[in-house]
């Protein structure tokens, strides 16, 4: 087959060391793998910055492609490929395309990110770098405690600095097409009920700690175990002109964190207590409580650039979403007839027109993703005599292997409240596989019709404000490992099915967003509720802060308890005005009149029970119109 010489041109600004590259559907453009993308060369003129490259493409064969901006780093090994970090990439639903026919072609694609007059770009995902998040907040208690009497009533400002880095004096002189070393970066963010600031630089004396404010520092690095981080603390009002001969006013002390203490394998999150030292004389005057998470790239899977729906939502009427399939079968007022979160329940909702089905996923002891709502279940101790009543034990699902979950007779935790424990154990020996609880996520992906979308809620332990943990589980899996297993299962088996991830745990939402580039994420929140206890995490307490968190993390949107939305419909208008998608869930959505109200208010998705017993006028429309 003959070939054509095609020159691609794009315009756009770049940071020092940052380059533009092109990635597409043929081998010459990397087969959608950014690791194999073609770097463009910069050609400055008086008016604009142009980037250009020339490649050989097969004549008459349609080729799709996208541009991205990022770093091409030095390879880990002498003969190895460059490590590629994607900062920003084009995510139009339909990529750019060309069918080359002439011997030589120049394609001027205009400005980066703009195709057919529409700008659609998204932030990159973690490809080879690690992201460390350090947080200071009042969720549980004040993060800073200074024992010195002088500062007993003080409120503090904090600034984080990255220390001990060698800077290359010739960095700016280096050609942007030569592989670079990644510069470690620190960015500051804050979230509150009223506002958020995302990845800003810090003022000289940092930002003030406040009870309603979540402060977060983000560090991206290729050396997560080789960083020195210094927290400097200042009196909030900066009233002192000079303290302890310091250059900056109001300086109280500093605390040092070596990243090697947190960047251990198998350790994704935790809380540290660091000593705050005065500078002159050098002695301990207090401590700071630092909450952290470490986000690593998915292990064993490479995300490509063929498609992204992470920020895509097609305008349509509100979608009807089957809660746990055909509905809650354990704790709601009117129980579903088919056991929840089984293949039978999911198929039932699908057959009655549900556009999406919602279900819950976590892991068995041997790391198989399974579909089940609760973190615990009941296991019966077999007695010698059948006439004796069964004795039940509550056990964490994570303590049972996948085979045990299939073979043992297990009951929902509500069985503990029932006098006749035997009645809680239905006879399942002869039940078809689709009626069995604890189906694997892979089997669900294979068994439910492909035109039905999945709202996959990722389960994780949460702590209530009174200190109690879900299922009384204060420890769980390693978060990176946990998510890698679930995400790979979906990415490798979902095909063209529409997927939305959701979670009540803010850090789970953050990690899903940064580990993969294909599927959108909704932050689940109960808002201010009379039905559920308040959660410890500040980001989970109100719908207002959930809206700001979703914008801060660049999520698709939020999924809010209907109680909060019916009481304050303005949340819906506010979320939509910020470009967010909003789903709603809860017992109130089981009432047709409430669903009608919520549709009129403008919600994008309604999650409710017994979808097979309701007239679902919009479901078929939703299934036909979702891309």
pLDDT tens digit string along 139-169? 999 999 998 888 878 889 999 999 854 545 4
What is the spatial distance between Cα 549 and Cα 193, in angstroms, rounded to a whole number?
9
Q: What is the pLDDT of residues 83-118, one digit of tens each?
A: 999 999 999 999 999 999 999 999 999 999 999 999
Contacts with 386 (C-beta within 8 Å, 6 or more apart), sequence order: none
Across 192-267, the runs of DSSP E, i.e. the strands, are 196-200, 207-208, 214-221, 228-235, 251-258
Q: What was the pLDDT predicted at 147?
A: 85
Q: Of all helices (H) and strands (E), which one includes residue 341?
A: none
Q: What is the pLDDT of residues 352-407, one digit of tens each?
A: 999 999 999 999 999 999 999 999 998 876 666 666 667 788 899 999 999 999 98
**Structure token pair of residue 345:** 């329940």
Q: What is the pLDDT of residues 1-23, one digit of tens each?
A: 799 999 999 999 999 889 999 99
Q: Which residue has the higher pLDDT, 555 or 420?
A: 555
Looking at every residue in the chain, the average pLDDT score rounds to 88
**Structure token pair of residue 132:** 């460390």
Q: What was the pLDDT predicted at 387?
A: 62
Instruction: Say whether pLDDT at 173 is over 90.
Output: no
| β pairing state of 581-585 and 557-561 | parallel
Q: What was the pLDDT predicted at 250?
A: 83
Alpha-carbon Rg for the chain in angstroms: 27
Residue with tokens 């099915």: 497
Label residue 244 by pLDDT band (50, 70, 90).
Answer: very low
Instruction: Say whether pLDDT at 243 is over 90.
Output: no
Q: How many CB atoms lie within 10 A of CB 372?
A: 24
**Structure token pair of residue 575:** 């979320």
**Structure token pair of residue 175:** 């050609």
Q: 272: which strand partners? A: 290
What is the spatial distance between Cα 4 and Cα 23, in angstroms, rounded to a whole number?
17
Instruction: Say whether pLDDT at 625 is over 60.
Output: no
Label residue 605 by pLDDT band (50, 70, 90).
Answer: very high
Q: What percent of the chain has pLDDT over 90?
A: 71
Which range, of 237-251, 292-306, 353-367, averages the lowest pLDDT?
237-251
**Structure token pair of residue 198:** 């995302």
Residue with tokens 């949460």: 462
> In the chain, what's the furthest Cα-to-Cα distance?
92
- Identify the three-state secondary structure at position 397: helix
Question: 295-324 burial by CB neighbour count: b if 16+ within 10 A, else e?
Answer: bbbbeeeebbbebbbbbbbeeeebbbbbbb
Q: What was the pLDDT predicted at 622?
A: 56
Q: Tell me what the mean pLDDT of segment 269-291 comes to.
A: 92
* Cβ proximity of 320 and 603 under 8 Å: no
Q: How many CB atoms lie within 10 A of CB 58?
A: 16
What is the spatial distance between Cα 405 and Cα 391, in angstroms, rounded to a whole number?
18
Q: Which of 558, 573, 568, 569 is nearest to 605 (CA)?
A: 558
Query: What are the phi and psi torsion angles at 512 (to 5°)?
Result: -60, -40
The burial of 105, by beta-carbon neighbours within 10 Å (0-12 exposed, 13-18 middle, 19 or more buried), is given as middle
Q: What is the pLDDT of residues 425-436, one digit of tens each?
A: 555 554 677 889
Q: What was the pLDDT predicted at 246?
A: 47
Contacts with 388 (C-beta within 8 Å, 6 or more apart), sequence order: none
What is the spatial distance between Cα 586 and Cα 527, in angstroms, rounded to a whole number?
12
Which range, of 137-141, 171-175, 551-555, averages the lowest pLDDT?
171-175
Q: Of all helices (H) and strands (E), which one includes residue 513?
A: helix 506-515
| β pairing state of 3-11 and 104-111 | parallel
Which range, of 36-50, 440-454, 498-512, 529-543, averages the lowest pLDDT?
36-50
Q: What was the pLDDT predicted at 245?
A: 44
**Structure token pair of residue 332:** 């709601």
Q: How many CB atoms lie within 10 A of CB 202?
A: 17
Please give the DSSP secondary-structure letter assigned to residue 605.
E
Q: Tell me what the mean pLDDT of segment 239-256 comes to.
A: 65
Instruction: Say whether pLDDT at 242 is over 60.
Output: no
Label residue 339 by pLDDT band (50, 70, 90).
Answer: confident
Q: 90: which strand partners? A: 121
What is the spatial distance between Cα 21 and Cα 37, in angstroms, rounded to a whole number?
6
Counted residue by residue, the chain has a size of 627
Q: What was the pLDDT predicted at 172?
A: 45
Contacts with 258 (C-beta within 8 Å, 6 or more apart), sequence order: 227, 228, 229
Q: What was the pLDDT predicted at 47?
A: 67
Contacts with 173 (C-beta within 8 Å, 6 or more apart), sequence order: none
Nearest 10 degrees: Cα torsion 476, 478, 481, 484: 70
Instruction: Say whether pLDDT at 602 is over 90.
Output: yes
What is the spatial distance between Cα 455 and Cα 359, in angstroms, rounded to a whole number?
7
Q: Which residue has the higher pLDDT, 480 or 436?
A: 480
| β pairing state of 251-258 and 228-235 | antiparallel
Q: Tell me what the mean pLDDT of segment 319-343 comes to.
A: 83
Label residue 422 by pLDDT band (50, 70, 90).
Answer: low
The full 3-state SS of 309-354, as one line of letters, equals CCCCCCCCCCEEEEECCCCCCCCCCCCCCCCCCCHHHHHHHHHCCC
Q: What was the pLDDT predicted at 426?
A: 54
């Amino acid at each position: 087959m003959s070939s054509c010489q095609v020159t691609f041109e794009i315009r756009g600004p770049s940071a020092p060391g940052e380059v533009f590259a092109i990635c597409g559907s043929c081998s010459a453009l990397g087969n959608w793998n950014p690791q194999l993308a073609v770097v463009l060369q910069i050609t400055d003129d008086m008016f604009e910055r142009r980037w250009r490259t020339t490649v050989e493409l097969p004549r008459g064969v349609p080729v799709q492609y996208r541009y991205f901006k990022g770093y091409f780093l030095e390879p880990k090994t002498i003969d190895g490929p460059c490590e590629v970090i994607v900062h920003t990439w084009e995510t139009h639903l339909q990529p750019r395309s060309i069918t080359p026919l002439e011997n030589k072609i120049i394609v001027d694609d205009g400005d980066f990110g703009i195709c057919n007059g529409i700008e659609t770009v998204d932030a990159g995902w973690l490809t080879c770098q690690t992201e460390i998040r350090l947080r200071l907040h009042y969720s549980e208690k004040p993060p800073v405690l200074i024992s010195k009497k002088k500062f007993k009533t003080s409120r503090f400002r904090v600034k984080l600095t990255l220390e001990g880095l060698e800077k290359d004096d010739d960095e700016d002189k280096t050609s942007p097409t030569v592989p670079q070393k990644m510069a470690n970066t620190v960015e500051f963010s804050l979230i509150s009920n009223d506002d958020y600031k995302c990845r800003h630089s810090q003022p000289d004396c940092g930002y003030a700690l406040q009870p309603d404010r979540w402060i977060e520092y983000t560090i991206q690095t290729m050396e997560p175990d080789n960083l020195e981080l210094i927290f400097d603390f200042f009196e909030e009002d900066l009233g002192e002109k000079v303290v302890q001969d310091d250059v900056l006013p109001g300086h109280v002390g500093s605390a040092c964190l070596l990243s090697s203490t947190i960047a251990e394998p198998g350790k994704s999150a935790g809380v540290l207590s660091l000593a705050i030292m005065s500078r002159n004389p050098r002695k301990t005057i207090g401590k700071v409580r630092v909450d952290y998470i470490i986000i690593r790239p998915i292990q064993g899977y490479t995300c490509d650039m063929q498609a992204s729906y992470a920020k895509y939502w097609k305008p349509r009427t509100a979608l009807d979403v089957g809660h746990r399939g055909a509905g809650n079968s354990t704790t709601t007022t009117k129980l579903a007839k088919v056991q929840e979160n089984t293949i039978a329940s999911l198929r039932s909702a699908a057959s009655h027109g549900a556009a999406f089905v919602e279900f819950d996923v976590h892991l068995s002891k041997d790391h198989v993703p399974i579909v089940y709502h609760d973190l615990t279940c009941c296991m019966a101790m077999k007695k010698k005599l059948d006439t004796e009543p069964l004795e039940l034990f509550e056990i964490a699902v994570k303590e049972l292997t996948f085979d045990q979950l299939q073979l043992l007779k297990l009951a929902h935790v509500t069985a503990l409240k029932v006098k006749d424990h035997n009645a809680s154990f239905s006879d399942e020996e002869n039940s078809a596989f689709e009626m069995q609880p604890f189906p694997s996520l892979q089997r669900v992906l294979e068994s439910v019709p492909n035109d039905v979308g999945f709202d996959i809620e990722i389960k994780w332990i949460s702590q209530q404000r009174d200190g109690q943990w879900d299922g009384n589980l204060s420890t769980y899996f390693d978060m990176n490992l946990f998510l890698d297993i679930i995400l790979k299962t979906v990415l490798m088996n979902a095909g063209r099915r529409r997927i939305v991830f959701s979670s009540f745990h803010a850090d789970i939402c953050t990690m899903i967003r940064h580990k993969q580039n294909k599927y959108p994420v909704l932050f689940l929140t109960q808002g201010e509720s009379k039905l559920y206890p308040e959660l410890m995490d500040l980001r989970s307490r109100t719908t207002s802060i959930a809206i700001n968190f979703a914008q801060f993390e660049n999520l698709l949107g939020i999924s809010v308890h209907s109680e909060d939305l019916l009481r304050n419909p303005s949340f819906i208008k506010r979320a939509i005005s910020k470009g967010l998608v909003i789903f709603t869930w809860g017992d109130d959505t089981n009432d047709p009149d409430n669903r009608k109200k919520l549709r009129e208010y403008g919600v994008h998705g309604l999650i409710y029970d017994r979808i097979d017993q309701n007239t679902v006028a919009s479901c078929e429309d939703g299934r036909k119109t979702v891309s």
